[in-house]
């Protein structure tokens, strides 16, 4: 227990700072679609009896080593053309899910408190580019941390046939479509603020080929098209179903076999959303995820304590080895300078309780000829 303490002046010896730490998060599609078993029964895929969503882990989820990576679910607005007769499979749940995401991320509109509709643009109140039938990819806090870094999100999907989702198509065109928020920036450029945080638009990039793939447009020209949004703080990507079907302008691809239902056979995405369970739609999307990557962000708030050691203090030690026969070992005569070696900095409250401790990687010599400032940073 130390006997000598040095006060810290809260105005001159303590300061705060904030830094952002980014980590690259690459998620290979095989984790979602087959590393731990044949679709749809991967050991890392967890389905629930309620059937509302599906969880993807990085390892068979029964293992304590498994980490939760993301959840998948699907839904549509009650005003969607898909909303209809009671014969729709899990229709109520799909509508409830759409509303749940919309009310949390976009809020309500109008005097009747109608939930906003997702739109694949930054002006979510203008009712254009509405996404009424969507697939949700909800990333775990474990990998998103504080938020997805704007401008770094990328998701590559296969738009080929069910049996060859990622294979090249006729004419050598790629079946892969990349959705990216590349135009967004951490300074707020090309992002929109909502009650659910900021979001950016996911634009399609046909492929890495010079040839634009299958009518998805290209980021490089005016033909670019948006197929979803990504909410950065929430860590949620929302994809419109039209990415797997022909949109209103006749663009895109109308996949007849978006999903191969175990008993009903091939289904388009609209048939999947109406005629298959939510977990079926999730299986279909997993089957077509080639790659996902983004940078996450951790906001680190730090308090820095400048521990100033004056020249005339802490030059002696109570260490039992400091003396031999009461004589200070580092001195031969009284006029020699006392010397001590600092290895540890203890930070205390006014009651002398040790609240934090810092260790130097090597001893620091202290004698009356030097004063030292040790900068201790505590991150929160």
Partner 1 sequence: MAFLDNSGDIILDAVLTETGRKRMADGNFSISKFALGDDEINYTQYDKNHASGSAYSDLEIMQTPIFQPLTTTAAAINYGLLSLTNVGVLYMPAAEVNELINQSLAATGSVYYVAVNAATKTNLVTDFGGTTAGAPYVMQAGSNSARSVLFEFGINSSDIGATAANRSAYISNMNLLDSGISVSADSRFINGVMQITRNSRFSNNANNDLTAVINTEIVATSTAARNLDNYNEYSCRCIDDLIFVPSTNTATSLSAITGPRGTLGALNIDVLTELKTESGGTRSTLWNNYGRLSQTVAAGSSKTYDLIDTMVYIVGDTTGTSLQIPIRLARSTN
Residue among 67, 355, 370, 371 that touches partner 1 (CB under 8 A):
355
Taking the CA of residue 312 as centre, how many other CA atoms within 13 Å lie in the half-sphere pointing to its CB? 0
Is residue 373 a contact residue for partner 1 (CB under 8 A)?
no
Number of chain residues interacting with partner 1 (CB under 8 A): 73
Residue among 7, 26, 110, 221 that touches partner 1 (CB under 8 A):
7
Q: Which stretch binds partner 1 (CB under 8 A): 116-124, 272-280, 288-296, 308-316?
A: 308-316
Contacts of 49 (CB under 8 A, 6+ apart): none
Contacts of 137 (CB under 8 A, 6+ apart): 70, 71, 72, 155, 236, 237, 238, 239, 285, 292
Residue among 123, 343, 370, 371 that touches partner 1 (CB under 8 A):
343
Nearer to partner 1 by Cβ, of 59 and 316: the residue is: 316
Q: How far is the CB of 378 from partner 1 (least distance, A)?
A: 6
Is residue 64 a contact residue for partner 1 (CB under 8 A)?
no
Q: Which stretch binds partner 1 (CB under 8 A): 110-118, 143-151, 176-184, 368-376?
A: 368-376
Q: Quick one: 114 exposed, middle or buried, by C-beta within 10 A (0-12, 13-18, 19+)?
A: middle
Is residue 300 a contact residue for partner 1 (CB under 8 A)?
no
Q: Is 299 helix (H, G, I), strand (E, B) or coil?
A: strand
Q: Quick one: 238 exposed, middle or buried, by C-beta within 10 A (0-12, 13-18, 19+)?
A: buried
Is residue 363 a contact residue for partner 1 (CB under 8 A)?
yes
Residue among 86, 112, 324, 373 that touches partner 1 (CB under 8 A):
324
Q: Which stretch binds partner 1 (CB under 8 A): 111-119, 129-137, 216-224, 328-336?
A: 328-336
Is residue 307 a contact residue for partner 1 (CB under 8 A)?
yes
Contacts of 322 (CB under 8 A, 6+ apart): 316, 328, 329, 330, 340
**Are 134 and 118 in contact, with CB atoms under 8 Å apart?**
yes
Residue among 26, 172, 250, 325 that touches partner 1 (CB under 8 A):
325
Is residue 358 a contact residue for partner 1 (CB under 8 A)?
yes
Nearer to partner 1 by Cβ, of 111 and 373: the residue is: 373
Residues β-bridged to residue 295: 24
Q: Quick one: 240 exposed, middle or buried, by C-beta within 10 A (0-12, 13-18, 19+)?
A: buried
Residue among 231, 349, 370, 371 that touches partner 1 (CB under 8 A):
349
**Are 209 and 174 in contact, with CB atoms under 8 Å apart?**
yes
Contacts of 363 (CB under 8 A, 6+ apart): 341, 342, 343
Q: How far is the CB of 17 from partner 1 (least distance, A)?
A: 14
Is residue 314 a contact residue for partner 1 (CB under 8 A)?
yes
Is residue 377 a contact residue for partner 1 (CB under 8 A)?
yes
Q: Which stretch binds partner 1 (CB under 8 A): 17-25, 215-223, 266-274, 327-335?
A: 327-335
Nearer to partner 1 by Cβ, of 189 and 352: the residue is: 352
In this structure, the dihedral spanned by the alpha carbons of residues 287, 288, 290 and 291, taken in order and rounded to 10 degrees, is -100
* Site map 10..49 versus partner 1, x via CB under 8 A: x---x-----------------------------------
Strands 372-379 and 289-309: antiparallel
Q: How far is the CB of 329 from partner 1 (least distance, A)?
A: 5
Residues β-bridged to residue 161: 164
Q: Which stretch binds partner 1 (CB under 8 A): 58-66, 73-81, 209-217, 320-328?
A: 320-328
**Are 134 and 76 in contact, with CB atoms under 8 Å apart?**
yes
Contacts of 44 (CB under 8 A, 6+ apart): 31, 35, 36, 37, 56, 57, 58, 59, 60, 61, 66
Is residue 347 a contact residue for partner 1 (CB under 8 A)?
yes
Q: Which stretch binds partner 1 (CB under 8 A): 57-65, 87-95, 173-181, 302-310?
A: 302-310
């Amino acid at each position: 227990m130390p006997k000598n303490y040095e006060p810290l002046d809260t105005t001159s010896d303590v300061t705060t700072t904030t830094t952002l730490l980014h980590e690259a998060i690459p998620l290979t599609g095989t984790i979602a679609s087959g590393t731990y078993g044949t679709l749809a029964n991967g050991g890392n895929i967890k389905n629930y009896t309620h059937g509302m969503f599906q969880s993807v882990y990085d390892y068979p989820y029964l293992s304590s080593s498994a980490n939760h990576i993301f959840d998948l679910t699907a839904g549509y607005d009650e005003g969607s053309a898909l909303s209809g007769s009671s014969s729709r499979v899990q229709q109520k749940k799909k509508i409830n899910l759409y509303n749940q995401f919309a009310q949390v991320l976009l809020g309500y509109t109008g005097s009747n408190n109608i939930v906003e509709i997702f739109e694949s643009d930054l002006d979510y109140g203008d009712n254009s580019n509405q996404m009424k039938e969507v697939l949700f990819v909800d990333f775990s806090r474990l990998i998103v941390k504080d938020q997805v870094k704007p401008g770094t999100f990328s998701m590559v999907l296969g738009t080929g046939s069910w049996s060859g989702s990622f294979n090249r198509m006729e004419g050598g065109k790629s079946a892969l479509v990349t959705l990216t928020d590349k135009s967004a920036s951490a300074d707020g450029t090309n992002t929109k603020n909502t009650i659910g945080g900021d979001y950016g638009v996911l634009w399609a990039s046909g492929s890495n080929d010079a040839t634009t793939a299958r009518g998805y447009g290209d980021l490089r020209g005016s033909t670019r098209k948006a197929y979803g949004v990504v909410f950065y703080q929430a860590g949620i990507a929302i994809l419109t179903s039209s990415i797997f079907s022909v949109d209103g302008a006749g663009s895109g691809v109308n996949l007849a076999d978006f999903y191969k239902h175990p008993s009903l056979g091939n289904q388009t995405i609209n048939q999947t959303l109406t005629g298959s369970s939510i977990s079926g739609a999730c299986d279909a999307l997993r089957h077509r995820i080639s790659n996902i990557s983004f940078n996450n962000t951790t906001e680190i708030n730090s308090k820095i304590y400048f521990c100033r050691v004056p020249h005339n203090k802490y030059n002696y030690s109570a260490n039992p080895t400091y003396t031999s026969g009461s004589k200070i070992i580092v001195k031969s005569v009284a006029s020699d300078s006392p010397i001590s070696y600092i290895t540890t900095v203890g930070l205390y409250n006014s009651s002398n309780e040790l609240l934090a401790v810092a260790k130097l990687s090597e001893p620091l010599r202290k004698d009356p000829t030097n004063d030292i400032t040790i900068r201790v940073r505590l991150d929160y």
